[in-house]
């Protein structure tokens, strides 16, 4: 899917004359991508089994075979994009430092060791074009209920299908609200490290130090949601309540900095957390 997205925007789509005449526009002609993945197999077990019976072994084997393996693809995509960004920044630095375009083109026209999707050897210049960021990857996890049996994949009864659809709808609502909470928290983090009166390094260090406990709390909420069952709902609600209280406690620090935009973003985080909490409670 990632390759198809790049190929369409960078190769298949007809470019405008403005894009064809502008090297930078051609290099950045692929829009960023948001990905939503519905996992049909649980990524985490609800709890360790009491015994490794036939049903558990067969069910776990299927989970390992058919489970989501996109974490590695996501890491590689982001890793490659970071390298491309670094190369572009070095290229721009060379241009600003007076390196001639002919010297830069001499490097970009050399052949690399990798090949493209049709087996042709790439040039370095080709590596810079058509890159984009995976700005969001949302995984809607199928929860392990601890009662699965062997060969459940062959159960197409109406009752089972309706139950799976109901579970999927519920899990999607929970995950979308959790993602909205994460999006607002990331914005708060970004604004927190841009406080005035500090060097960039000092700002980032100080801002992240204040938010690291909150980040750990959010990660714990994410983990609880992955293994969530009916008995975990109250635990998750309690974790979210602690998160909300700690976000509110940032108020004193915000008064010190008198930063309105951060205060407003904090309120958006609180609103998103409350909405997520309501969605979790509605499943109880």
Q: The dihedral of CA 191, 195, 199, 202: what is its sign?
A: negative
Neighbours of 90 (CB within 10 A): 10
Looking at residue 21, its pLDDT comes to 76
Q: What is the Cα–Cα distance from 104 to 99, expressed in whole angstroms? A: 7
The residue ranking higher by pLDDT, 256 or 85, is 85
Question: Of 137-151, 157-171, 254-268, which one has max mean pLDDT?
Answer: 157-171
Task: Please check whether residue 170 is in contact with residue 143, taking contact to mean a CB–CB distance below 8 angstroms.
Answer: no
- 140 — phi, psi (to 5°)? -95, 100
Average of per-residue pLDDT values in the chain: 83
Q: What is the pLDDT of residues 163-202, one digit of tens each?
A: 889 989 988 999 999 999 999 998 888 777 665 444 444 4
The structure tokens listed for 215 are 């980040």
pLDDT > 80? residue 158: yes
Looking at residue 205, its pLDDT comes to 52
Place of tokens 């801002």: 207
pLDDT > 90? residue 58: no
Looking at residue 197, its pLDDT comes to 44
* Angle (CA) 15 19 20, round 5°: 80
Neighbours of 161 (CB within 10 A): 11
Q: Does the reported pTM lie above 0.75?
A: no
- What's the rounded mean pLDDT across residues 129-148? 83
Domain-by-domain residue ranges, the chain?
Answer: 1-154, 155-284
Closest of 252, 235, 246 to residue 270, by C-alpha = 246
- List the helix and strand counts (H, then E) for the chain: 12, 4
Q: What is the pLDDT of residues 222-253, one digit of tens each?
A: 888 887 654 578 889 999 999 999 888 875 55
Query: Can you give the length of the chain in residues?
Result: 284
Calculate the CA 117 to chain-centre distance. Answer: 26
- What's the rounded mean pLDDT across residues 56-83? 86
Task: Please check whether residue 233 is in contact with residue 283, taking contact to mean a CB–CB distance below 8 angstroms.
Answer: yes
């Amino acid at each position: 899917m990632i390759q198809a997205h790049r190929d369409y925007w960078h190769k298949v789509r007809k470019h405008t004359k403005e894009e064809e005449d502008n090297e930078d526009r051609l290099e950045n002609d692929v829009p960023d991508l948001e990905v939503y993945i519905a996992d049909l197999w649980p990524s985490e077990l609800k709890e360790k089994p009491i015994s490794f019976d036939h049903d558990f072994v067969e069910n776990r084997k299927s989970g390992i075979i058919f489970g989501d393996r996109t974490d590695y693809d996501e890491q590689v995509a982001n890793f490659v994009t970071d390298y491309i960004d670094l190369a572009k920044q070095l290229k721009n630095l060379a241009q600003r430092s007076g390196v001639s375009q002919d010297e830069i083109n001499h490097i970009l026209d050399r052949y690399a060791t990798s090949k493209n999707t049709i087996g042709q050897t790439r040039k370095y210049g080709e590596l810079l074009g058509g890159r984009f960021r995976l700005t969001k990857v949302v995984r809607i996890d199928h929860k392990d209920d601890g009662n699965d049996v062997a060969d459940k994949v062959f159960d197409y009864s109406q009752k089972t299908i309706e139950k799976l659809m109901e579970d999927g709808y519920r899990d999607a609502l929970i995950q979308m609200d959790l993602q909205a909470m994460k999006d607002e928290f990331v914005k708060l983090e970004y604004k927190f490290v841009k406080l005035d009166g500090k060097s960039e390094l000092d700002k980032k260090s100080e801002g992240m130090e204040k938010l690291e406990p909150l980040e750990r709390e959010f990660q714990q909420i994410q983990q609880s949601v992955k293994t969530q069952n009916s008995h975990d709902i109250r635990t998750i609600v309690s974790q979210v309540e602690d998160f909300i209280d700690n976000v509110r406690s940032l108020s004193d620090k915000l008064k010190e900095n008198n930063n309105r935009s951060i205060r407003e973003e904090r309120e958006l985080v609180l609103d998103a957390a409350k909405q997520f909490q309501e969605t979790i409670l509605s499943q109880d």
